[in-house]
Structure 1
Amino acid sequence: MALGGTFRVMLAVCPLLTTFACVSQTNAPAPATDSPQPRTATYSCADGARITIENLGTSVRVLGPDGASEDLPASPANQSSRFGAAHDAIVIDGRDALVMKSGKTPLTCTR
């Protein structure tokens, strides 16, 4: 008789345990590099230069150390961390930005 009761309890508990195992973790902490891009941020680059990136939503405006500016659209259009046009691009990852200019070595910059 005890074996039959144990079997019934196991039948009731198994679906419950399966449900708990399938629940997603929505409150897990974000990765350390995942900090939101502010509207305007100044970055210090590995070569000693400083650039300012203005986040316009679907594009960014990059102001170089010489005062020149360049607008780069999101690439592809549906995301918010990669921007580029022609042979120039910027990839933003948390506090870091990888700046790629045509004919130059990629440059890492940090805000």
Structure 2
Amino acid sequence: MIAKSSAEPLDDPTVWAVTCFVVRREHRGLGLNKTLLDAAIDVARDSGARLIEGYPIDNGGTSVRSNDLYHGALSTFLRAGFVEAATMKPGRALVTLDLTT
């Protein structure tokens, strides 16, 4: 399914989004995106979020330039418990994590 955007209302304060990661070049490749994503999940949960969305890159297991991964890698989100909700465009997924369960 190709989706243009989330089906969630834009003004719903219980829906949070992880939109990008910023990691200095010398610290890339150390697993910091996972650490940052885990921290974002904790903050969202503690702040009353019911759902978190992400819009990561699906590199299909191929190598991509690190500058192209600022949205995060799909594999990082899936390992954190997110599920693929839709394909926004080729190579870009919409993923969600339900915090109510």
Normalised by the length of structure 1, the TM-score is 0.24
- Which has a greater percent of strand? 1
Bigger relative contact order, structure 1 or 2 (CA pairs below 8 A, ≥6 apart) = 2
Normalised by the length of structure 2, the TM-score is 0.26
- Which has a greater percent of helix? 2
